[in-house]
Structure formats: structure tokens, C-alpha cells
Structure 1
């Protein structure tokens, strides 16, 4: 704070320091969606007054008497303007402001095409610019489908496992074990299998994410497991295994002790 910084042949005074702010993708600068964060911020008016160089695209249209493409009255677009609108009413007012501005510029001869103003929020903007590739969503649906197939297979395996122990369950029921106790034991076994599968799946997930990080795409370096995802992995494995074990456990407690003892 208060120190001077020499930049682009000018000296600036540091008046504030921001906390770390990481957002991916960088919605406000999609020319470098997953790049490093900006190091310095300064007022827009200062950059215009000093005629500082800019980095990014420059789209010009129509005719202009001003040779300076970055001038405020030049027929060129090279800046993005983001606003924070706290309520739907403010959003409607700002949309009306954009429409009126477009009409005024068209009446002045600066805009030539019909009114085509758009107002998008961050998620709509990312969708419009196709920042998240479609194959990422496809991978998500494939993963969900694979999870469903695994759950169905787990149901079948647990059902076969518990029904194969019908004789044992019949003996325990004859000795006084309640259906609730047997049902709870079956669910505990299913949950244990789920936790073991979660640990094994976590290792495979780390391996898969490592493979993703080797891909030559700019978002590949973001593929990692954070603590939230790590916890979610075990929660999902446990919940999925318990859900898969409900039907086999219920079928197991329907065993009739007398019939099983007679068959034995």
C-alpha cells in the first residue's frame, strides 16, 4: 500500500490490495479462459487518457473520422462491460437502458443494424460462448450410466449372495434372531462392500484424472480431486451400496425358518 509501481512508461500509486480471487473459467476474459489471474487493476479512464496498449480483439464497423480505434467515439468494440444487478427489477431496467442506448446510437447514425441487444448472466454467457465443451457433458452422462449399470449388477450379486445363505438365515431365525437384526446385518455387509468399492474407485479416479491432465486442452489442468469431491466419493459409494442392498436384504428376511430347516 502506498508504494509506486512503474508500468508502461508511467508511475502508479498502489491504493489497495485484493484478496486471492480464482475463478475458472475466467468468464470476463474468454481469450484466456483458464489462464493466470491479473496482477494489476487500474481505472478504465486512466488507461484511456494514457492511451495504453490493449490485449485482445478489435472489431470495427462503419466509417469513422477518428483514427484512434480505442477512442470512446470510435466505431470499434474492444471492451467487455460487466454489471452486477441485484434484483430482477434492476435487470429489467438495465435491459431497457441498453435498448434505449441502441436506439439513440442508431438515430445518430452510429449503429446501422436493427436493435439486437442481449443481456446474459455468467452461466448464459459461458453457454453462449461454448466454454465448456460438449464432450464434458457427455462424459458426465456416461459416468452416470456406468454408475446405474454398476448398481444393477450390485443388486444382482447381493441378492445371489444373501439367498445362497438362506439355510444359515433360517437357522438364525429359528434360534430367535429377529428379522430386523438380520436386515441390519445384510445392510452392514452391503455398506462395507460399498466403502471398499469407494476406496478402490478413488484410486481409479486419481488415475483417470491423471490421464485427463495429460490431454492437450487448456482445461485439463483443472482435473483434480478437492476435499469436497473426496468426501462425496465415499458418501456416494455408501449411499449407493445401501440402496442396492435394500432389495436383497428384504428378500433375505422373507426366508421361512421351518422350510429351510426341513430342506436342510
Structure 2
């Protein structure tokens, strides 16, 4: 495995739930600092890092809609939750000495920047960590779709889906001890097998724009650096 990065620019997709750690709600400071240090090692290796974060640890629009709230309103609340998470990530990253910028798909200028593609690319070229918030800015679209969209817009070399398991399995490994992990899959296989990796829109975007996706365990220290250095035995590669 080479110490020279295998990728110039990556996009890391984090779910809101991943930020909770062992908590039932909110943001774990331990998880946040571990994430910041993982990003730091990758950035110092010469890789440009963008992040898309969900908001499920605070609000999830679809869940709110099931409780009777208008779906569009619920999704807008979910977008605001992602801004809160993005600000927390920015704070953790800056506390360890890196520069970070939050860019939102909805206008919230007193808190963070608007998403402007060319400006985002410029931030990345200057070595800043860019955290994309508010999904696509539209209701009915998940933050998985936002991750695939932003990766396409900034011409990322790789999308990384951070989870609590070490890849994609034939079934939920926590429920089925006989579940087997895939080392590699095609996008069409993910679609035909209906594997719950990312939503269908996100998978199609990555497939059509030929952006590889690797699913890995974010709770294992050092995995992110191994991936960007070219390790092929970490998680599951979808391409």
C-alpha cells in the first residue's frame, strides 16, 4: 500500500445517527473529535476532503411526516438539523487546527456560506475541509442523494459512506450471524439485489457519472487513511 494518496479529492457521507455514538440523541463529542482527527490525517496526506452530513440524530423529515407534520415542512426541519451537525463538525475540525467551511443548500447567511460550486472547489484547492449542509435544498431528497450530487459537482474521485459496519452484507450482520460481506459490487448489482446502501437516486448518480463508492466502518481508527492510500481490503467497493 502506497503512502502516496490514491485519490486527490474525496467526499465523505456521514449519517446524523453516526454522530450520536452511544447516545440516544444529539452529538457525541468523542465521535466528533475522532472524526476530526481522521479527517486531519487524510488532509495532511494531501487529499482534498468534502463532507455531507445528515440530520437524523436531531430530526428526520420522513419520520416527522409520519407523525402528522407536513412532509415539506418536515424535510425543511431536517435540513436545518443538518446545518446544526455541519457547524459541529466545522467546530471540531477547527479546534484541531484545520480550516473548514460550511456551505448550505438553503440560505442562512448569518450562520454559514451558500453553496456555490466554484467557491466550494476553490476552498478544497486551498486545503480547506468543506462541509455541505441542508441536503440538496429540496424536500423529498435524502442526504445520500445530496452526497452523490455534490460529489458529481466537485468532481470527487471517490464517495465514502461511513457506517457502523465494515461494508455491505448479504443481510444485516447484527441480526443474521451468517450474513456475508461483499468485497466488491457493481452499481447494477446493488440495484438488482436491493441492497440498502444508499437510496436509488444516489446509486444511479454515482453509476452514471462513474464515481466509485466505498462503504466502511467509521468506528475503526485509521480505516479512512488506509482507503485513501489505496487499500483494497477495507469495506466494500461499489463501482
Question: TM (normalized to structure 2)?
Answer: 0.25
- Structure with the largest fraction of strand: 2
- Structure with the largest fraction of helix: 1
Larger RCO (CA within 8 A; separation ≥ 6): 2
Question: TM (normalized to structure 1)?
Answer: 0.24
